[in-house]
C-alpha cells in the first residue's frame, strides 16, 4: 500500500518514521461520512465536490456500503453522515439507513432537501434516521435559485417544514460568501421561522467549485464584521436555550489556521461514492497519493495501515515553520488540501497562517475582494448540467 516514495519532495524513510510514530496511537474513526453519490439536482457555485465530476461517476453497490458501515462501526465509528452530492438520489438509501440504525450509529442525512417526500420522511423515521440537515443557499428566492442554478427555494421551504412536522431535530445549513452575507438577518429569521434547532452559518471554504469561484465569493471585511455583529446580537437575544448559531470566520481572514478535521486521520473517515477512502473530502486532489479503496481493503487496514491515512499523522512530516512551532499540536499545521491548492505542496504550512512564506498569496486574494465593484465582474462557474443532474423531482407531498 505504501506510496511514500511517490510524494514529491519527501523521502520514503521520512514517511516510514511518520507511520511508525502514528502506530499504536491511532484513535478510532469516530465520524464516518458516506458520500453516497456525487450526482445532484443542484448546481451550486460553491460545491465542494470534485470539479472533474465526469471522471468520478462510479458508485459502490448496496452490499459494499453495508459492509463498510459494519466494519467502521466495529472499529469504533459512532456518528454517520449520509451525504453526497444528493444522497436522496440513491435508491438504496432506506436500506442503508435501516442497516446503520441496527448497527447503533447516530445517523444524519445531509441533504439539499430536493427529492424528499412525506412518504420518504415517514419511512426514514420508521427505519431509525436520527437527524436531518437541510441546506439553503440564501433566505431569498432570487439568490437561492441563482446560486444553485435551479428553482428550488419554494420546494426547500416546504421540505424544511415537513422535516420539522415529522419531529426531526434539524440543522439548517447556509454557505456564506460575498453574494449572501448581507442577508444574514433574513437567514437567521428564516431559520427561526422554520423552528430549527441549529443554524450552521458556514463561511465558504475554498475547495472544489468554490476555489474556482473565489474571485466572486470572497467577502469584504466589512461584510464579515457586520454579519458577526448581527449573529452576536441574535445570540444574546435568543439566550442559551434558543436556536444555536454557529458562525466561523473564514480561514482566509484569520492569521492562524483551524485544526483541520481535528487532525489528519484522527477522527474523520470519508468514503467517496466509488469507495475511495479519504481523511478529508477534498484530499482526492492531492498528488502522489494512492488512497485505498474499500473494494480492495478492509476499513481497519485503511485506517490503521494505509500510507494515505498515516502520511500526515503526528508531526514528523512537518517542515518549517510548523516543525518548531508552539502551535503545532493545536492546529496540526492547518489544512493539507489548502496547503496544496495554494502552495502546490501539501506538506507546507497552511498558507492562511501568517508564519507561512505563502501567506501573501491569500492576503492578495482577500485584498482584491475589498475593491468596490470591479469593472469586469468575475466569471462564475456553475456546477453545470453536464456535471450534475437536471432537476426533475416530485414536489414534497407526492408519494
Ligand atoms: S451542488 Fe449544491 S446541493 Fe449539490 S452537492 Fe454540491 S453543494 Fe450540495
Ligand atoms: S507555523 Fe504551522 S503549526 Fe505554527 S501556527 Fe502556522 S500552521 Fe500552525
> In this predicted structure, what is the pLDDT of residue 392?
46
Q: Which residues line ligand 2 (CB under 6 A)?
A: 256-257, 321-322, 325, 327-328, 331, 333-334, 349-350, 353, 355
> What are the grid coordinates assigned to 70, written together?
459494519
What separation in Å is there between the alpha carbon of 304 and the centre of ligand 1? 31
d(CA 271, CA 109): 15
pLDDT of residue 48: 87
- 255-305 pLDDT tens trace: 999 888 889 999 999 999 999 999 998 898 888 888 999 999 999 999 999
Q: Mutate which of 49, 147, 389 to test ligand 1's pocket (most atoms within 8 Å of Cβ)?
A: 49
pTM: 0.86
Residue 71's nearest CA partner among 280, 279, 311, 271 is 271
Query: Which ligand is closest to the CA of 254, given by its number?
Result: 2
Task: Return the ligand 1 atom nearest residue 137 CA.
Answer: 2
Q: Please state, in angstroms and rounded to a whole number, the distance separating the CA atoms of residues 136 and 277.
A: 28
Q: What pLDDT is recorded for position 376?
A: 66
Q: For strands 277-278 and 268-271, give the pairing.
A: antiparallel
Residue 207: phi and psi, rounded to 5, are -130, 170
Distance CA 89, CA 303 (A): 28
Q: Whose CA is nearest to atom 2 of ligand 1?
A: 44
Query: What pLDDT does residue 390 have?
Result: 63
Q: Whose CA is nearest to atom 3 of ligand 2?
A: 328
* Amino acid 25: pLDDT: 56
pLDDT along the chain (399 residues), means of 10: 29 37 67 95 90 83 98 97 95 98 98 95 97 96 92 95 94 95 97 96 89 90 95 96 91 88 92 96 86 97 95 93 94 93 94 96 90 68 70 43
Q: Does the C-beta of 133 come closer than 6 Å to ligand 1?
A: no
339 lines ligand 1 (CB under 6 A): no
- Cα of 322 vs centre of ligand 2, distance in Å, is 5
CA 17 – ligand 2 centroid, Å: 21
By C-alpha distance, which of 49, 135, 63 is closest to 99? 63
Mutate to test the pocket of ligand 2, among 256, 329, 333, 339 (most ligand atoms within 8 A of CB): 333
Determine which helix (DSSP H) or strand (DSSP E) holds 343, and give its type and residue range. Answer: helix 336-343
Q: What is the pLDDT of residue 29?
A: 94
Q: What's the pLDDT tens digit per position in 156-191?
A: 999 999 999 999 999 999 999 999 999 999 999 999
Q: Which of 34, 88, 112, 136 to mutate to test the pocket of ligand 1 (most atoms within 8 A of CB)?
A: 112
Amino acid at each position: 500500500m505504501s506510496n511514500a516514495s511517490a510524494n514529491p519532495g519527501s523521502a520514503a524513510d521520512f514517511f516510514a518514521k511518520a507511520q511508525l510514530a502514528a502506530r499504536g496511537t491511532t484513535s478510532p474513526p469516530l465520524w464516518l461520512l458516506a458520500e453516497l453519490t456525487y450526482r445532484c439536482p443542484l448546481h451550486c457555485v460553491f460545491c465542494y465536490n470534485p470539479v472533474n465530476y465526469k471522471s468520478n461517476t462510479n458508485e459502490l453497490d448496496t452490499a459494499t456500503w453495508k459492509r463498510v458501515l459494519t466494519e467502521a462501526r466495529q472499529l469504533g465509528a459512532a456518528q454517520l453522515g449520509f451525504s453526497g452530492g444528493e444522497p436522496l438520489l440513491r435508491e438504496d438509501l432506506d436500506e442503508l439507513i435501516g442497516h446503520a440504525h441496527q448497527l447503533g450509529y447516530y445517523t444524519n442525512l445531509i441533504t439539499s432537501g430536493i427529492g424528499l417526500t412525506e412518504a420518504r420522511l415517514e419511512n426514514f423515521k420508521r427505519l431509525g434516521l436520527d437527524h436531518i440537515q437541510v441546506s439553503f443557499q440564501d433566505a431569498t428566492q432570487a439568490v437561492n435559485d441563482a446560486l444553485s442554478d435551479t428553482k428550488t427555494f419554494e420546494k426547500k421551504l416546504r421540505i424544511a417544514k415537513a422535516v420539522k412536522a415529522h419531529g426531526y431535530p434539524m440543522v439548517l445549513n447556509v454557505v456564506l460568501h460575498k453574494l449572501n452575507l448581507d442577508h444574514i438577518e433574513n437567514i437567521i429569521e428564516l431559520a427561526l421561522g422554520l423552528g430549527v434547532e441549529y443554524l450552521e452559518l458556514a463561511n465558504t471554504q475554498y475547495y472544489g467549485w468554490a476555489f474556482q469561484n473565489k474571485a466572486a465569493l470572497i467577502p469584504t471585511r466589512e461584510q464579515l464584521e457586520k454579519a458577526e455583529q448581527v449573529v452576536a446580537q441574535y445570540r444574546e437575544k435568543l439566550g442559551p436555550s434558543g436556536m444555536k448559531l454557529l458562525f466561523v470566520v473564514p480561514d482566509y481572514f484569520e492569521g492562524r489556521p483551524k485544526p483541520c478535521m481535528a487532525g489528519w486521520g484522527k477522527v474523520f473517515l470519508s468514503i467517496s461514492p466509488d469507495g475511495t477512502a479519504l481523511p478529508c473530502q477534498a484530499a482526492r486532489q492531492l498528488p502522489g497519493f494512492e488512497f485505498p479503496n474499500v473494494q480492495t481493503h478492509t476499513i481497519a487496514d485503511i485506517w490503521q495501515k494505509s500510507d494515505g491515512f498515516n502520511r500526515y499523522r503526528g508531526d514528523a512530516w512537518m517542515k518549517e515553520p510548523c516543525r518548531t512551532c508552539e502551535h503545532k499540536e493545536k492546529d496540526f499545521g492547518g489544512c493539507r488540501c489548502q496547503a496544496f491548492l495554494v502552495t502546490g505542496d501539501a506538506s507546507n504550512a497552511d498558507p492562511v497562517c501568517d508564519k507561512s512564506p505563502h501567506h501573501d498569496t491569500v492576503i492578495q486574494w482577500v485584498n482584491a475582494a475589498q475593491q468596490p465593484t470591479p469593472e469586469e465582474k468575475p466569471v462564475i462557474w456553475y456546477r453545470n448540467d453536464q456535471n450534475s443532474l437536471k432537476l426533475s423531482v416530485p414536489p414534497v407531498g407526492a408519494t
